[in-house]
Amino acid sequence: MIGLSAGSTAMYQAMYSLGLAAETSFQEPIRLGEAPRGASVLVLGAGMAGLVAAYELRNAGYQVQVLEYNERAGGRNWTLRGGDRYTELGGETQECRFDPGLYINPGPWRLPYHHRGMLSYCKRLGVALEPFVQINHNAYLHNSNAFGGKPQRLRAVKADYHGHIAELLAKATQGHALDADVNAGDREVLLDSLRWWGALDKDYKFSKGAQSSERRGFDRHPGGGLSARPVPSEPVGVSDVLNSGLWAALPLGELYDMQTTMFQPVGGMGQVGQAFARELGPLIRYNAKVVEIHQDARGVSAIFEDRNAGTGRQTAQADWCICTIPLSILGQIPMNVGTPMTEAIAAVPYSTGLKVGLQFKRRFWEQDEEIYGGITYTSLPIGQISYPSSHFFAQGKGVLLGAYIWDMLNSESFSSMTPAQRVAKAVEYGGQIHPQYAREFDNGIAVAWHRVPFAMGCFGIWSDATRDRHYDNLCAFDGRIVLAGEHASYMPAWQEGAVTSALDAIGRLHQRALAAGAST
Amino acid sequence: MKQQRGFTAVAGCLWAAVAFSMIFGAALIEAPARAITILDAEPVSLADGREVYEHICQGCHMPDGGGAIGAGHYPALAKNRNLASRQFMALTLLMGRRNMPAFGAKHAIAQIGRPAVLTDVQIAAVINYVRMHFGNHYTDAITAAEVAALDPAAAPGVDSH
């Protein structure tokens, strides 16, 4: 077996290098200024970057045409609902059989409160937003190699981890081990803060009792009347907490990109793409597969095939081109740009991320386990289970995200399965966390991003070295062509990266168009 | 021959990577005293080229090696003349090519920070499998030692092309 081999001690720490906690560069209002008379722009791709570019350029007075491979706008901004059909590379078609109102977002699914660009367009286009529950203390952390594979409530893991750390620190403080760094006056404050932060008792111990149970939960919760007396729960020992590895998941909701409040569009992320599509109307030409891009001193032309008509090749032309086609695909399209951009396009591998949506006959996670939204993280190949953030307490069926696989080998393994096998695996693994799965499962749909015909990958993966060498070349104008998209941002995978890269690109395009207009 | 790499990793990082977005500079930290397994693996045979193909490669190149065509395409491995060069294949697997991620340990770590990759034995096995299936018949098999010898030094962040 690959994996699970003993003795592998390499540790890889994913570093949050450049850009992870970067503030969005979005600023309102967008004031591009007036387009030179008759200036035209060809936008390739109607994903978030292309839509934003087209919308703002049109508003500024440019003649805009958008070519889109799919028969819908949005690109990876996409929602699958009951009745939708999706055909992946390889030819397998899945029909989504979710009940009315239920959906899965195969791509982006949440909006941080500080992704102001995305939120701004939602507001401007009338896309209603609701809270996305990222952090749920009653969801699980699960490691099949810890606690006998029994899932642990996040609140218990958090309480125990913090409690034990606080107790150890208090012990060190009281034992004067920290005197070199903490003066006598500060020591008492530190001890007070540790007791409060870690829920320690009066002796600075993390012990079974009211304090710890107020964090980790009681065995019998306080109530009223004669049956009211609470029974505290037993904290897990420090060694078990540490060796469970579950503490690894605790900071997730504290990362800047995941901090509460997060939002989601009511009815699915795809509402954003659809709203742009309504706004842009006939400016978007659908089912257009771009097969060649050519520029010369006068303009840019894109040769494309109509996927439905089969009437041979057609050409779209404009003064300028904003190309948002994912690099996974763009690298295969002949385009006369220089070596720096060509090398940059070829330098970015794409994530193999994968999602599985599962419909169940009832919302057992709410009814049986009091889990309302949020995410369970697991060591199992499915990675996560996310519970719906809307329609709490609804009767009838419910859909949850049954797998969201980031680990590349596991997602590659899942991508190598048929869609039905992926769904079956997600049910099998998830059943180790929720035994109700076997009985309540209804149907599912699986989207493996390397098999998505219009993306061939989930998002572009940059390293520090590839950024240093290629990023500026990727984003710089080459003649009349400029690229935009999440791949041309320091916020990979986030839609905000696509939005801000598009705005940056059109700003530079406008300056060039003005300069060109003035010279002719 | 390289040590088999497993999915054992010391905590946070991996889940961080699994859970959120954006890990795109990854660094190799010195091995800690003890590793904790926090990621389970879909099982794949160690040295069986066919199993490696069916668990990983066919995700894009398809079960019949036929590749696929959408907005772009995945090259067919069936009757693909590029396969005449076993070295070309080895470099492609080790370093990745365009949107295809690297599978060689040094390159995968530098490129995408992934801790789980294929060994030289597995890379050789799957190359030999593909070059003798899907209508291909290249009898000059590659060895794991040859794969290892081909592996270019991967400075942190080596390029993938």
Q: Which residues pair with A95 in a beta bridge?
A: A85
Comparing B30 with A47, the larger pLDDT belongs to: A47
- Band of residue A28 on the pLDDT scale cut at 50, 70, 90: confident
pLDDT at A358 over 50: yes
Identify the structural domains of chain A with CATH numbers, from first to last. Answer: 40-76+270-348+462-519 (3.50.50.60), 80-139+260-268+351-451 (3.90.660.10), 154-243 (1.20.1440.240)
- Band of residue B42 on the pLDDT scale cut at 50, 70, 90: confident
Distance CA(B120)–CA(B159), nearest Å, equals: 20
Comparing A199 with B105, the larger pLDDT belongs to: A199
pLDDT at A446 over 70: yes
**Token code pair at residue A469:** 């060498």
Say what the pLDDT of residue B4 is.
31
pLDDT at A18 over 70: no
ipTM: 0.88
Q: What rounded mean pLDDT belongs to chain A?
A: 93
Distance CA(A84)–CA(A105), nearest Å, equals: 12
Q: pLDDT above 90 covers what percent of chain A?
A: 90
Rg, C-alpha atoms of chain A: 26
- Band of residue A15 on the pLDDT scale cut at 50, 70, 90: very low
CA atoms within 13 A on the CB side of B153: 1
A277 touches chain B (CB under 8 A): no
Of B97, B148, B141, nearest in space to B121 by CA: B148
When pLDDT is averaged across residues A499-513 and rounded to a whole number, the result is 97
- Band of residue A30 on the pLDDT scale cut at 50, 70, 90: confident
pLDDT, tens digit (0-9, with 9 covering 90-100), for A125-140 = 999 999 999 999 999 9
Q: What rounded mean pLDDT belongs to chain B?
A: 75
Around Cβ B64, how many Cβ atoms within 10 Å? 14
Which range (A106-120, A398-412, A484-498, B113-127) has the least confidence?
A: B113-127
pLDDT, tens digit (0-9, with 9 covering 90-100), for A38-94 = 999 999 999 999 999 999 999 999 999 999 999 999 999 999 999 999 999 999 999
User: Closest partner residue to A12 among B29, B59, B69, by Cβ?
Assistant: B29
Between chains, do A379 and B155 touch, taking CB under 8 Å as contact? no
Between chains, do A12 and B36 touch, taking CB under 8 Å as contact? no
Say what the pLDDT of residue B18 is.
39
- Band of residue B11 on the pLDDT scale cut at 50, 70, 90: very low
Q: Chain A interface, mutation test: which of B42, B61, B92, B97, most A Cβ atoms within 10 Å?
A: B42
Which range (A505-509, A513-517, B16-20, B40-44) has the least confidence?
A: B16-20
Find all residues with CB under 8 Å of A396, minimum gap 6, and list them. Answer: A99, A362
Which range (A153-162, A197-206, B90-99, B115-124) has the least confidence?
A: B115-124
Comparing B156 with A433, the larger pLDDT belongs to: A433
Query: What are the structural domain ranges in chain B?
Result: 12-150
Of A397, A163, A186, A357, nearest in space to A269 by CA: A357
Say what the pLDDT of residue B32 is.
39
**Token code pair at residue A353:** 């991320």
Say what the pLDDT of residue A23 is.
67
Q: Decide if A517 contacts A508 (C-beta within 8 A).
A: no
When pLDDT is averaged across residues B117-136 and rounded to a whole number, the result is 94
pLDDT at B104 over 60: yes
Distance CA(A133)–CA(B8), nearest Å, equals: 30
Say what the pLDDT of residue A60 is.
96
Which residues from chain A sit within 8 angstroms of residue B157, using beta carbons?
463-466, 468
pLDDT, tens digit (0-9, with 9 covering 90-100), for A368-403 = 999 999 999 999 999 999 999 999 999 999 999 999
**Nearest-Cα residue of chain A relative to residue B38:** A379
Find all residues with CB under 8 Å of A128, minimum gap 6, and list them. Answer: A122, A265, A266, A267, A271
User: Closest partner residue to A349 among B30, B63, B96, by Cβ?
Assistant: B96
What sign does the CA torsion over A283, A284, A285, A288 have?
A: positive
Around Cβ A373, how many Cβ atoms within 10 Å? 20
Say what the pLDDT of residue B34 is.
53
pLDDT at B16 over 80: no
Between chains, do A412 and B15 touch, taking CB under 8 Å as contact? no
Distance CA(A383)–CA(B39), nearest Å, equals: 8
In chain A, which among 328-347 make CB contacts under 8 A with chain B? 328-329, 331-333, 343, 346-347
A118-145 burial code (b ≥16 CB/10 A, e <16): bbbbbeebebebeebbbbbbbbbbbbbb
User: Closest partner residue to A407 among B37, B39, B156, by Cβ?
Assistant: B39
- Band of residue A1 on the pLDDT scale cut at 50, 70, 90: very low
DSSP chain B: -PPPP-S---SHHHHHHHHSS---EEEEEPP-S------------SS-HHHHIIIIIHHHH-TTS--EESSSEEPP-TT-GGGG-HHHHHHHHHH-BTTBPP-SHHHHHHHH--S----HHHHHHHHHHHHTSTT--------HHHHHHH-----TT----
pLDDT at A112 over 70: yes
Dihedral pair phi/psi, residue A316, rounded to 5°: -115, 140
Between chains, do A409 and B5 touch, taking CB under 8 Å as contact? no
When pLDDT is averaged across residues B103-112 and rounded to a whole number, the result is 82
* Secondary structure of residue A380 in the 3-state scheme: coil
Say what the pLDDT of residue B136 is.
95
When pLDDT is averaged across residues A273-278 and rounded to a whole number, the result is 98
Which range (A12-26, A269-283, A437-451, B86-100) has the least confidence?
A: A12-26
Say what the pLDDT of residue A298 is.
95
Q: pLDDT above 70 covers what percent of chain A?
A: 95
Which residues from chain B sit within 8 angstroms of residue A463, using beta carbons?
24-26, 110-113, 156-157
- 């079960």: which residue's tokens? B63
Between chains, do A414 and B42 touch, taking CB under 8 Å as contact? yes
Domain B12-150: assigned CATH number: 1.10.760.10
Say what the pLDDT of residue B35 is.
60
When pLDDT is averaged across residues B47-76 and rounded to a whole number, the result is 94
- Band of residue B47 on the pLDDT scale cut at 50, 70, 90: confident
